Amino acid sequence: MSNLQAPLVECFSSIQGEGVLVGLRQVFLRFSGCNLNCKFCDTPGMSAVPDDCLLELTPGRRDFFKVPNPVPLERVATLIESWTAAWPGIHHSISVTGGEPLLFGTLLEEWLPVLKKLLPIYLETNGTLPEALAPLIPHLDSIGMDIKLPSSTGCPELWDQHHAFLELAAMKEVFVKIVVGQETEDWEIQRSCAMIASVDPGIPLILQPVTRDDGSIGIDSLRTLELQELCSSLREVRVIPQTHKFMGQL
């Protein structure tokens, strides 16, 4: 087993609250660090590696204990293996998330084959690091890829990176998620849809209304429908908010 250690934030069991896997139970393996700084990020403070990683002893019970960072693969794999043995069949997959987990692409080349023996691997990513994705394709089962819009993220335009990433991700089961708010502009959605359609118009698109810090939705219902109407070049477009937040899930 690999001796590589990873800077982790937490590992826990919960219900997936976003995207096409919404409602499914997953193991969440959250890596620290991100190459972007989106203003709507629901996991702030990801730039610094925490001193300790929180591991859940019993899946879904929030009985966390601390282990020092970085965390060895053997520690994580042993924990997840204990869950799959004692609670067989309750988890759909492992969500490898962040931050941006592809910052640790070299490490994941060693970790994912081990974790894949326990559960299928689902990658949650901001879709900006295609060079890190390419070697991992054989080890992934599905990918949830963001498109980061300049108006809602405060980030610079990333269209070229997103396009290159999606062309690779389309080798696997993939969907695209876009966080939308009242400030989202028509051209951003149109350009996103044209990019997706150029790769495969059958790739599902999720429009995710932005959730404010107080839990309210940052876009009105009419504007949401107007943005959805711009996506006619794609075969499957869904509007799904962050459901885990109002369910009280992590």
Q: Extract the annotated binding site.
A: 15-17, 30, 34, 38, 40-43, 97, 99
Phi, psi of 190, rounded to the nearest 5 degrees = -60, -45
> How far apart, in whole angstroms, are the C-alpha atoms of residue 150 and residue 161?
14
pLDDT of amino acid 154:
79
Its domain, for residue 213, covers 5-247
Query: Which helix (H) or strand (E) element contains residue 15?
Result: strand 8-15
CATH of the domain at 210: 3.20.20.70
Q: Could you tell me the two tokens for 77?
A: 């794999």
Pair 156, 176: CB distance under 8 Å: no
Other CB atoms within 10 Å distance of the CB of residue 171: 13
Answer yes or no: are the C-beta atoms of 107 and 135 closer than 8 Å.
no
At residue 44, the pLDDT reads 54
3-state secondary structure of 107: helix
- Cα separation, 128 vs 59, in Å, equals 31
Q: Can you give the pLDDT of all 250 residues of the chain as single tens digits?
A: 556 899 999 999 999 999 999 999 999 999 999 988 777 676 655 567 999 999 999 999 999 999 999 999 999 999 999 999 999 999 999 999 999 999 999 999 999 999 999 999 999 999 999 999 999 999 999 999 999 999 877 778 999 999 999 999 999 999 999 999 999 999 999 999 999 999 999 999 999 999 887 888 999 999 999 999 999 999 999 999 998 887 788 8
Sequence ranges of the binding site for S-adenosyl-L-methionine: 40-42, 99
Q: Which residues are annotated as a binding site for Mg(2+)?
A: 43
Total structural domains within the chain: 1
d(CA 79, CA 112): 15
Residue from 149, 157, 142 nearest 208 by CA: 149
Name the pTM for this structure.
Answer: 0.95
DSSP letters for 192-207: HHHHHHHH-TTS-EEE
Binding residues for [4Fe-4S] cluster: 34, 38, 41
Task: Phi first, then psi: give them for residue 66, nearest 5 degrees.
Answer: -100, 140
Check residue 244 and give its pLDDT. Answer: 83
Residue pair 50/6 in contact (Cβ under 8 Å)? The answer is no
Give the span between the Cα atoms of 93 and 75, in whole angstroms.
18
Is residue 119 a contact partner of residue 27, using CB atoms and an 8 Å limit? yes
**Per-residue pLDDT at 45:** 52
